[in-house]
Structure 1
Amino acid sequence: MSDTAANPPATPVSHPPLPVPAALAYMGAAVVLALSQGLGQGFVSTNIPQIAGDLGITTTQASWLMAAYMIPRASLPLMLIKIRTQFGLRRFAEIGIVAYVAVAFASVWISDFRSAVVVQVLSGAAAAPLSTLAFMYMLEPLSPQWKMRLGLPMAMAVLMAGPTLARVVSPALIGDGGLTWIHLTALGMAMVSLMLVFRLPLRPVPHMKVIQPLDFLSFALIAFGFSGITIGFVMGPIHYWGDAAWIGTLMAASTGALAITVAIELNRATPLLDIRWLASPAILHLTATLFLFRLILSEQSTGAPRMFQVLGIAPSQMTGLFAIITLASVLGGLACVAWIRPQRVPAFHFIALMLIATGAFMDSQATIDTRPAQMVVSQALIGFAGMLFMPPAMMAGLISALAKGPQYLLSFVIVFIATQALGGVIGSGAFTSFINHRQAAHYQTLIEQVSATDTLSTQSIAARAAGLAPQIGDIAARNAQAASLIAQDATSQAYVMAYNDAYLLTALIAVLAAAALSLHVARDRMAARMTPAQTYSSDVKS
């Protein structure tokens, strides 16, 4: 083994910046790659009911498609770092994009549930490299000082905007209810990405033989652990957790697999993941911050869309709301470009947390009459806050990794992507579980109130029945329909109250996180002030 392979250089390979026309071409390619990945993921999560109808299955079965897509998205990036390092960027990019096009082409022809599950697993695996490629193409043409300031925020903005943008374009693509144009759009984006990758090759970096046989065992255990957690948090809320014993068994087995992985990696000279570095206080603090933030962002991805679905709002009526959220995210990225600096990371995080708290508190005032237009401001604040938070957080991790060497830098990027994918699934599952629990409690309270005020209930049923008189002639059927409508109203009211509880909890968590951040910054400043004084005191004594 050469000295270079045994001891990689302390700094990553740096290419000179490209001319402006070429730089714009590479950055445009990054946008297309990021949107291809984001739209592909968003098309699945947004259109679960339509997919179920198209395949002739239940929505519970269709939810397996989302789990199948997210499983490789959460685990495969952990292995991509070594694959890319050993076989080179260009081969990595070309093989990855060809696989993505092949899977997109296959998705056009799926016609049954089993083939759909297989295609979604392959689609998630093929999409996993696209996030990395989007970062690389955005950073490729820039000088070192602009990679963090411009490249990182813009790559994050486009990657985060993709799933939301899918909600904007899906109703127009679905049209009469078919998914053909959804699949064709994904295929078209994939083919454009293929052309761009081959027309705009990434500049080469030195290859190193880094893949070891034990890496495959560690990766298999990590993949199983992440897969079990993904399936558990996707299917758990649907099966109400305790009603399906297999979910608990799977989660326990997944935890055990990850524990075995940690034991293996701690005893390796060249581990797949440097557990000791990832378990250092600074990285643990950063990871916890990222994970917490990903959880509270579930208020936007899981909260408002599903609440409006419960209230009977069609997806086409929500396109304006999600278009504004997408725009707010992009504006957040531009704000990072203008003001991002390493020393300003805590300030960015504090502002983002307070914006999320404000937006979530505004959402907690929702009623059954709330419509998307009334949540535009609050959801725009949360979308803007998401982009104020993520690039500075990632920059802090990258700076920490750079100090250790290129292998830590690339590992952090991959772990960051995997953590966000897993955190999104856990956040969505936890948010949905909380909603289900609170809805059942509120519904029980509402039913008890109706029973306790029998006179008012009778009057309400009579009023509803009178309104139904022109449509239903039979008195008994009219009263039964009126009672059914009142029960439906109680269900809708209970759901809205449950979502309000979740929004309020999100606001509270954001405020507590902002308070903890303030205390942490104050402690660091006090420590910085005390350190020179202590040094001077010890010098005097000596």
Structure 2
Amino acid sequence: MPPIPDRSGPARLAYGATAVLIGATASLGSAFVGVNLPFIQGRLGLTPVEGAWLTAAYAMTNVSGNLLFLRFRQQFGIRLFAALGLVLYATMTLLNTLWDDYTAALVIRALCGFATVPLSTLTIFYMLQAAGQKHSMGGLIVGLSIAQAATPFAYVVSPALTFSEEPHVLYLFESGLALCSLAAVALLQLPESPKARILARGDLLTYLLVCPALALVVAVLTQGRLQWWPDHPWLAVALCAALVLMATAFVYEEVRPAPLIYHELLFAGSTMRFALGAFGLRFVLSEQTYGASGLLGLLGAGPDQLQGYYAIILMSLAAGVGVAALVFTPPRAAVLAIVALAFMATGAFLDADATGSVRPQQFLGSQAMLGFANGLFFGPILIFGVLGALKGGFEKLVTFIVLFIVSQTLGGLAGSALLGTIQQHREQVYSAQINASIDPTDAIVAQRLQSQARQFAPVLTDPALQRAQGTRQLGQASTLQANVLAYNDVFRLTGALALLLLAWLSIQTLLTMIKSKEQGGTPAPAGGGAS
């Protein structure tokens, strides 16, 4: 890590602004694609399956990038590391404005996923320079959390950028951010950190084994719900191939003198508890990215109607980050995670009584709770884990960082995949129940069908066609109601999972405190209880 000298107020402000600019550059490109995916699909004439590959391509390369880049930065220095990442990303975004078809979009998204890995690290380093040595812990939390604001911010600004219905506007905005970041880094450089020759030839082979393994898992989680799990055998083949590649990488790393992946850290009990907790927290937060957003989209809420909704989420996220930055110390990590889980459970259960007439305004309180929880736990839980990993030596940090990134990426994808699968299954169950209860001979049902048919009288003169359209409209209404009930089940499930995690974490924390008291010391930052 570069040194953090004492700086003047204006210099710290400049470093902080540069950190926000680089953080926005690193995360907004992917967020824009995810938020505007229906718009991009319509523009390029893509199916939902083809569109999902655009988001998968980015995650497939991004999830494993730190495995290689951490050692590269330590050997060649932060400045070369920054220049290569920004130049590659700026080049890719500029190509996106010129080469506008599906193949190009896939290639560029994949390369952008790889190129943004250095930018995330740069964001943290610049924010540390802004915070100074005295407030470095708070600066680290803010730097880590900037990327979490990308999706709500993308929802807020996207309606203005897509007003012309030209995707080039999105790509030009992304390119502008990349070029501005490149200029800012050139003008305001980081202090050079000490270098060490730690790269080995074997590192590349490990990366070439782990990267496709994780990429295959990402592909399965992204496509499984859309293509439906039992209908496509390639999903099972991909998971088996990922398992073989990962096992081969572990065996190879076991015999290396200076491995990238340290098994004793990776499979330690405290590390596994930490990874499970981090994965579970990200999984539960899928209630916001998939559940509430999916239901509002189903009910017809467009981008313009969701701007205020996501502005509230953005502000609550910022509030959570601010609180975490002000109060965090390693012994408080478990307390912050418990509070975050309590907010998640409360928000999820508040959403579980939605109806077909619900609007974004009715979700503001619950989703503000989830946004606050997201800001409250993300930075502290990573810092807590890093402090524990550093007890085994700095060389083991690569293993931990990769584990955390994988847990967060796969936790989010698994949450969307599993919750989406449950929602689709429950919708089918509720549709069957509702349709079975509709009896055309019932007086109320017959009156409803007549009312629906009369709506088409001004445009259809044939009574049979009027009745057919009325029946079809009633069927659409029952399907909508079944979907709403299925989303309510999703909300209840995530609330229950949050309570389960809350109970598990509270027990682990209590056991850690008891053990520490018996030993006559204070709870250690690396204790498994504050996972």
Query: Smaller-chain TM-score range?
Result: over 0.9
Q: For residues 353 and 75 of structure 1, what CA distance do their matches in structure 2 show?
A: 28
Q: For residues 152 and 106 of structure 2, what CA distance do their matches in structure 1 show?
A: 23
The one of 140, 148, 151 equivalent to 1:152 is 140
The aligned counterpart of 1:366 is 354
Q: CA deviation at 1:145?
A: 4.1
The aligned counterpart of 1:74 is 63
After superposition, where does 1:202-351 map in structure 2 within 5 Å?
A: 202-351=190-339
The aligned counterpart of 1:539 is none
8 A Cα contact 1:74 1:419, kept in partner: no
Partner letter of residue 279 of structure 1? F
8 A Cα contact 2:390 2:396, kept in partner: yes
The aligned counterpart of 1:537 is none
Q: For residues 487 and 466 of structure 1, what CA distance do their matches in structure 2 show?
A: 16
Q: Secondary structure at the match of 1:186?
A: helix
Q: For residues 472 and 154 of structure 1, what CA distance do their matches in structure 2 show?
A: 61
Change (3 A) 1:504 1:259: same
Note if 1:111 corresponds to 2:100.
yes
8 A Cα contact 1:97 1:193, kept in partner: yes
Moved more, 438-447 or 499-508: 438-447
In the superposition, the TM-score normalised over structure 1's length comes to 0.92
The aligned counterpart of 1:85 is 74
Structure 2 unaligned segments of length 5 or more: list them: 522-531
Partner letter of residue 320 of structure 1? G
In the superposition, the TM-score normalised over structure 2's length comes to 0.94
Superimposed CA distance per residue, residues 212-245 of structure 1 (whole angstroms, 9 cap, x where no aligned partner): 2221121111111111011101111001111111
Q: For residues 436 and 208 of structure 2, what CA distance do their matches in structure 1 show?
A: 51
Change (3 A) 1:482 1:69: same
The one of 428, 448, 454 equivalent to 2:416 is 428
Partner letter of residue 459 of structure 2? Q
The aligned counterpart of 1:506 is 494
Moved more, 200-209 or 288-297: 200-209
Q: CA deviation at 1:414?
A: 4.5
Q: Secondary structure at the match of 1:318?
A: helix
Partner letter of residue 392 of structure 1? P
Change (3 A) 1:410 1:152: farther
Note if 1:132 corresponds to 2:121.
yes
Percent identical: 32
Note if 1:31 corresponds to 2:20.
yes
Structure 1 unaligned segments of length 5 or more: list them: 1-11, 534-542
Q: Secondary structure at the match of 1:204?
A: coil
Q: For residues 130 and 446 of structure 2, what CA distance do their matches in structure 1 show?
A: 72
Note if 1:95 corresponds to 2:67.
no
Moved more, 376-385 or 436-445: 436-445
Q: For residues 131 and 390 of structure 2, what CA distance do their matches in structure 1 show?
A: 17
Q: CA deviation at 1:388?
A: 1.1
Q: CA deviation at 1:47?
A: 1.2
Which runs of at least 4 in structure 1 moved beyond 6 Å after TM superposition? none
Q: For residues 406 and 511 of structure 2, what CA distance do their matches in structure 1 show?
A: 31
After superposition, where does 1:517-528 map in structure 2 within 5 Å?
A: 517-528=505-516
Q: CA deviation at 1:267?
A: 2.4
The aligned counterpart of 2:407 is 419
8 A Cα contact 2:265 2:389, kept in partner: no
The aligned counterpart of 2:526 is none
8 A Cα contact 2:347 2:365, kept in partner: yes
Note if 1:53 corresponds to 2:35.
no
The aligned counterpart of 2:170 is 182
Note if 1:121 corresponds to 2:81.
no
Superimposed CA distance per residue, residues 286-345 of structure 1 (whole angstroms, 9 cap, x where no aligned partner): 111111111111111111111111112212111111111011000111111221111211
User: Once superposed, what is the RMSD of the aligned Cα atoms?
Assistant: 1.8
